[in-house]
Structure formats: C-alpha cells, structure tokens
C-alpha cells in the first residue's frame, strides 16, 4: 500500500480475485480494518451477491462490520448489495430476466461514498465472470473509477491463474496491487509456488500481514 494514507481519501478500491472462493470477502475485511487503523472512515459496496436465500450473508456480515468501524455509514443492506440473486452462479446466469442497470449501480456507489472516506468494492468471482453478455466483472473496475487489488490463493495452480489475471488487468490498463491469501496448500506453498512467485515479483504481499 502507498505510505501516504491521504492518497486513499475519496478513492475506491475494487477487490477482485483470480477465481471464486479465493477470499475476496476475507480480503475486504482485512482492508476495511487496515484503513480504519490508519484513520480513514471506510465503506463497503458489493454490487452483486448470488446464492442468497433469506438475506445476503457476505454483504450483511461486512455491513455490520463497517457500522462498528464507521458508525456514520448509515445505510441499509439493499444499498450495500443492490442486486441479490438466489442461484449461486455468475451474475449473468443468476439474474435470469433481470436487467443490470449500470447507471443505477454508479448512483449507489456515489450515494455510499457520502458516508466514508474510502469505499471498498467487492467483486463476484474472478475478473472474467460475466455480468451481461458483453460486460464482465473487470469492466466494473473502470466503470467505478477504482483501483484494483487482485487476490490470489496459495494453492497449487496459483501461478497460472495469477499471471493470466495480471495479463488481463494490464491489457485493460488497470492499476492494481497483488495480495496472496495464505489459506490453502500451506504445507507445500513454500516449495511449490513461492520460489517462482518471489523470483518473478521480487516482493510478495500477503493478506495475513495486514
């Protein structure tokens, strides 16, 4: 992260990942706590949550956390998670006949920004998860005028997935930082994946160090 914390005031950070179940919600929590510790009022936005039965589990958990970190974030779960779908699938599939209104999402983001210095936006799945036929999660990063944090796992296969995701971000000219979530294949990560990653990137960031 940049040393000058004032850089992040009135900014948005989009939390994305190399794939699903990599730890975007965990990462969102880590960064919400990190920026709070640096004196910023934080906010949270999750445009889509799928697999919703009675209420959005991840969104509700994060909203409750943010309200403890920043009591002035006086918004509802429907503000934080405007699109809630029952089917646990990509938004394009889960939405069925619902039309995703991008202008509506931009207005929601603008509304949430009134209550915080820094808005953490959590994506769905990986970068190329479809929202509409010709609209993908990666496109929302620019639509929301956000910088990106790419979360990669420690499991076998992370090298390939990480490099593919980075190439896509670079192709779209999206500014990003890479963080690794040490949660899977921990016994083998040091020998199997880390040697290449440290040679390639020179320095690695881990969520667990925040």
Residue 58 labeled ligand binder: yes
Q: Alpha-carbon distance 52 to 33, whole Å? A: 25
Residue 103 labeled ligand binder: no
pLDDT for position 56: 97
**159-170 mean pLDDT:** 98
The percentage of residues in the chain with a pLDDT greater than 90, rounded to a whole number, is 97
pLDDT for position 154: 97
Structure confidence by residue, pLDDT tens digits, 32-85? 999 999 999 999 999 999 999 999 999 999 999 999 999 999 999 999 999 999
Residue 80 labeled ligand binder: no
Contact 129, 19 (CB under 8 A): no
**2-11 mean pLDDT:** 88
Supply 115's token pair.
């209550």
Q: Is the pLDDT of residue 1 over 90?
A: no
pLDDT for position 75: 98
Residue 123 labeled ligand binder: yes
Treating both helix axes as pointing N-terminal to C-terminal, what angle do 194-201 and 158-171 enclose, rounded to 10 degrees?
A: 30
Q: Is the pLDDT of residue 3 over 90?
A: no
- 46 has catalytic annotation: yes
**DSSP letters along 53-93, please?**
SSS-HHHHHHHHHHHHH-TT----HHHHS-EE-SSSS-HHH
- C-alpha count within 13 angstroms, C-beta hemisphere, residue 183: 14
Q: Alpha-carbon distance 206 to 204, whole Å? A: 7
| Angle, CA of 177, 197 and 189, to the nearest 5° | 110
Supply 165's token pair.
């995701």
Supply 136's token pair.
């993908």
Residue 187 labeled ligand binder: no
Catalytic residue among 2, 30, 38, 46: 46
pLDDT for position 117: 98
Supply 190's token pair.
């040091």
Q: Alpha-carbon distance 5 to 25, whole Å? A: 22
pLDDT for position 2: 81
pLDDT for position 55: 96
pLDDT for position 194: 97
Q: Could you tell me the pLDDT band of residue 161, with boundaries at 50, 70 and 90?
A: very high
Residue 51 labeled ligand binder: no
DSSP state, residue 129: -
Fold of 5-209: Rossmann fold (3.40.50)
Structure confidence by residue, pLDDT tens digits, 94-145? 999 999 999 999 999 999 999 999 999 999 999 999 999 999 999 999 999 9
């Amino acid at each position: 992260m940049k040393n000058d914390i004032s850089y992040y005031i009135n900014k948005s950070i989009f939390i994305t990942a190399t794939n699903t179940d990599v730890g975007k919600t965990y990462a969102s929590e880590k960064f919400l706590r990190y920026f709070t510790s640096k004196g910023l009022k934080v906010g949270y936005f999750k445009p889509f949550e799928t697999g919703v039965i009675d209420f959005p589990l991840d969104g509700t958990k994060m909203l409750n956390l943010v309200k403890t970190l920043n009591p002035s974030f006086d918004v509802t779960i429907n503000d934080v998670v405007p699109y809630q779908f029952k089917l646990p699938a990509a938004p394009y599939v889960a939405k069925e006949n619902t039309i995703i209104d991008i202008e509506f999402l931009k207005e929601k983001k603008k509304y949430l920004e009134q209550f915080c210095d820094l808005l953490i936006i959590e994506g769905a799945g990986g970068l190329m998860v479809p929202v509409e036929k010709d609209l993908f999660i990666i496109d929302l990063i620019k639509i929301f005028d956000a910088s990106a944090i790419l979360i990669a796992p420690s499991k076998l296969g992370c090298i390939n997935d990480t490099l593919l995701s980075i190439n896509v971000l670079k192709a779209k000219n999206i500014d990003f930082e890479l963080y690794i979530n040490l949660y899977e294949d921990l016994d083998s990560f040091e020998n199997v994946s880390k040697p290449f990653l440290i040679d390639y990137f020179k320095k690695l960031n881990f969520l667990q160090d925040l």
